[in-house]
Amino acid sequence: MKNLKVGIIGFGTVGTGVYKVLQNFNNIEIVKIAVKNINKKRDIENFNYNLLTDNAEEIVNNPNIDVVIEVAGGVNPALDLLKIAIKNKKHIVTANKELLAKHGSELFSLAKENKILILYEAAVAGGIPIIMPIKTILCANKITKIAAILNGTTNYILTKMGEKDLSYDVALKQAQELGYAETDPTGDVEGFDAAYKIAILATISFNKKVDINKIYREGITKITAQDIKSAKELGYRIKLIAMGQVLSDGKIDVRVHPMLVAKKHLLAKINNATNSIMLSGYPVGDLVLTGAGAGAEPTASSVVGDLLVIASELESSNNPLPQAICNHSQIANQINIGDTFNEYYIAINASNNPGVIGVIGTICGKNNINISTIMQKGINEDNTAEIVVITEVSKESDIQNALKEMLHSDCIKKIDNLLRVMN
């Protein structure tokens, strides 16, 4: 292959992993690496510190660099830097899901105008090959549904809560001690990370631009040990699910939130920091891809894979790989969470009085909600009862109206949690 000259922006866990993998390829030369601190000691044998710069513009404006690898993350200064690189006719390989979810349309339009590639296999699910397969080998399919576990941190926390009966706080602390969760875990536990990824995945799967600001997002911070236990007794496990589907009227439903998943379901069996993606389409049917969703080596695998695709393309042609170019002219008509239909898990704290179950049933009936299962979990010291309800498929807005009505009832003290059930 043609000798490819690259610059790397970002040299943390992923950037270091990319550097190490690239040492195995004689046709790829690392020209420069942009870092925040050029004096920081790097845990790399025989590392050439002359490669480092604290000025990323030395990379995006360097006429000798063919490809810019961006693994720094975040929107600023990545957005401005990549726009400069694109205008300077440099191909881009990035793992930056937040940047693509928020500004992908702008970057892809600029890339198309300048006839260069932006490849981003590492931006969704780390080492799992999903982006390029959808764009190439699966392009004959009409994909209509995605259900995925896209965040290893939250999956690890929920797994340990279920296996060891831990509280959320204890499981989070354990995840932080093991390096699965950041000191500030907000991006993971509040569902931002998974939302960025499903925005990207839904956009390329459904061939329509999905607006990250219209994705309903809910994290796992309200999940209690009692929720985990109740779900287990009912035959479910709780997972943070990123989902997208094309409805019968052509509208798009994209969201991220915890769900009760039946134990027999494949996603219920995905534990610890593993990621998994289920796709449904015609004519292929159902596909499941499972693997490491983060980490230096799995993510580097995807980054370097994209880089080698570009090297191969430049060897054979001056025109970018047509299938890899993002060109979503249609904007997705995304529905509001209130218009979705789901089964529901409702955890209720109520007075231990005769007729409470009847009150719950009456309120549900008035709001077009059929109850599938109702279970009382015991009596508390304050003479309140913990009641768990599983509904049949109901409209979200009807459920919300029912919950408001329940809270106005004298016998219902509070709604401890509301979770959707995967069906």
* Residue positions annotated with a catalytic role: 197
Q: Strand 52-53 relative to strand 28-34: parallel, antiparallel, unpaired?
A: parallel
The angle formed by the CA atoms of residues 333, 152 and 343, to the nearest 5 degrees, is: 50
206 alpha-carbon distance from chain centroid: 16
Cis peptide before 129 (omega within 30 of 0): no
* Dihedral in degrees, nearest 10, Cα atoms 13, 11, 9, 209: 10
Helix ranges, 319-417 (H):
356-366, 396-407
DSSP H/E element including 253: strand 252-262
- Inter-residue contact 180 to 271 (CB < 8 Å): no
How is residue 204 written in tokens? 């390329």
Instruction: Please report the sign of the dihedral spanned by the C-alpha atoms of residue 179, residue 183, residue 189, residue 192.
Output: negative
For the residues of 33-52, what is the DSSP string, one character each?
A: EE-S-TTS----TT--GGGE
Q: What 3-state class would DSSP assign to 358?
A: helix
- Name the residue with tokens 């969470």: 337
- Inter-residue contact 380 to 350 (CB < 8 Å): no
What is the C-alpha separation between 280 and 253, in angstroms, rounded? Answer: 14
Give Cα separations from 194 to 272, 281, 366 (angstroms).
16, 22, 35
For the residues of 296-344, what is the DSSP string, one character each?
A: HHHHHHHHHHHHHHHHHHHHH-SS--GGGS----SBP-BPPGGG-EEEE
